Amino acid sequence: MHKRKGWFLAAALALGLSLTGAAAPTAAAAAAAAESNGGVRVMPLGDSITEGTQVPGGYRIGLWQRLSGAGYRVDFVGTQVNGPAALGDHDHQGHPGWRIDQIDANISRWLGTANPRTVLLHIGTNDILQNYNVASAPSRLSALIDRITATAPAADVFVATIIPLASAGQAASARTFNAALPGIVQSKVNSGKRVHLVDMHAALTTADLIDGVHPTAGGYDKMAATWYAALRSVPGVIGDTTGTPGTPAAGALVGAGSGRCLDVPGSNSANGTQPVIWDCTGAANQRWTASGQTLQALGKCLDSPTNAGAGTKAQLWDCSGAANQRWNRNANGTVSNVASGLCLDVSANATAAGSLVQLWTCTAGANQVWTGR
């Protein structure tokens, strides 16, 4: 995957914002090329539950939001790309319908390309669903783990028990499979391997399944919370936070197309004030404080109005912490709203001082690219 680390990394450090990797949602190839922030490389690896069948993006959505909201700079890696705008980095290695042996047949190539620091492995469900030599599935998983640790010896591998299945017979097979995992993982640890067990089965019930196999959105979010807790329990696997969460950092946002700064006109902090671009002065009405995913100036938050569509104005509003006041700083330089998925945009590609700033479908055009100063 092509990596771009330059100005946007410096920009994020200047603003204290979490970098994410969203590109135009309709351009998968462009997303794959752009979605790197130079952070710790994490490979979500598995089958349709990693891909996010029924809920595109699956657990990766909630995991990404937790990581970025806490200030961790993580780069999801893999050859596959999918998920909504709320998922800041769409890369993964989830393959619907695949069994353990199919992952094993390809893993060395994937690891060689992606070079992950951390691997999140949830696999085995299709071995059971396809009744594919179920009794030997734990042995196949053990061999897969060995291949991963041999190919990427510096990586930490988090091995999840598979989530529940609604069918009684398949659920029993899943429990038998899962029961073998603690011993498998412990044997790797005893051999000096960086392998960790994650009890994902305990995190969900069949009530969290939408079709008897795949989680609901709430079920996927439970998976995200479980992965997140496991990652935070092992030092170094997701790096350190880019700053103490909740500690603001202030700076200007400069439009790439105009060279002018995002500005609160006339220092008017009234609710509903629409930002503009203006010659950069360093004044308080051009200093944006990033705390978590919010952007604040003059004591108010940058806000996407409720039910915003393309062309809706960006505005200042009393801070509420709601999703419409949370923003992702994307690897391609755009700044997108968590609630609407729309990007901060200088209307009509204008460059003149006083040009209005609105929300628009993300295109990564120069009028949507912002750098920190």
Q: Residue 28 has what pLDDT?
A: 36
Token pair belonging to 358? 């609105």
HSE at residue 67, side-chain half, CA atoms within 13 A, is 32
Question: Which domains does the chain carry?
Answer: 19-232 (3.40.50.1110), 249-372 (2.80.10.50)
Which pLDDT tens digit goes with each residue over 47-103? 999 999 999 999 999 999 888 877 788 999 999 999 998 888 999 999 999 999 999
Indicate the helix (H) or strand (E) that contains 40.
strand 40-46
Nearest to 16 by CA among 365, 306, 240, 290: 290
Sign of the torsion formed by the C-alpha atoms of 366, 370, 372 and 373: positive
The more confidently predicted of residues 37 and 277 is: 277
State the burial class of residue 135 (Cβ atoms within 10 Å of its Cβ: 0-12, 13-18, 19+). exposed
- Residues 146 and 152: beta-carbon distance below 8 Å: no
In whole angstroms, how far apart are CA 127 and each of 95, 136, 346? Answer: 13, 10, 51
Which pLDDT tens digit goes with each residue over 239-265? 876 533 333 346 788 898 999 999 999
Which pLDDT tens digit goes with each residue over 167-217? 999 999 999 999 999 999 999 999 999 999 999 999 999 999 999 999 999
Q: Residue 321 has what pLDDT?
A: 79
The more confidently predicted of residues 47 and 7 is: 47
**Phi (first) and psi of residue 55, to 5 degrees:** -135, 90
Q: Which residues of 166-203 are buried (b: 16+ CB within 10 A; e: fewer)?
A: eeeebbebbeebbebbeebbeebeeeebbbbbbebbeb
- Residues 58 and 52: beta-carbon distance below 8 Å: yes
Which pLDDT band holds residue 22 (cuts at 50, 70, 90)? very low
Q: Residue 373 has what pLDDT?
A: 75
> What percent of the chain shows pLDDT beyond 70?
86
Which pLDDT band holds residue 345 (cuts at 50, 70, 90)? very high
Average pLDDT on 333-341 reads 88
Q: What is the overall mean pLDDT for the chain?
A: 86
Q: Residue 219 has what pLDDT?
A: 96
CA distance 255 to 343: 13
Lowest mean pLDDT among 104-108, 280-284, 327-331: 327-331
Helix, strand, coil share (%) of the chain residues, nearest 5: 35, 20, 45
The more confidently predicted of residues 20 and 55 is: 55
Which pLDDT band holds residue 291 (cuts at 50, 70, 90)? low
Q: Which residues of 2-24 are buried (b: 16+ CB within 10 A; e: fewer)?
A: eebeeebbebbbbbbbbbbbbbb
Q: Residue 96 has what pLDDT?
A: 98
Q: 152 pLDDT exceeds 90?
A: yes
Which pLDDT band holds residue 21 (cuts at 50, 70, 90)? very low
CA distance 9 to 18: 10
Nearest to 146 by CA among 203, 189, 209: 189
Q: Residue 81 has what pLDDT?
A: 95
Nearest to 171 by CA among 138, 136, 125, 203: 125
| Integer-rounded Cα radius of gyration of the chain | 22
Global pTM reads 0.61
Q: 32 pLDDT exceeds 50?
A: no
Q: Residue 23 has what pLDDT?
A: 32
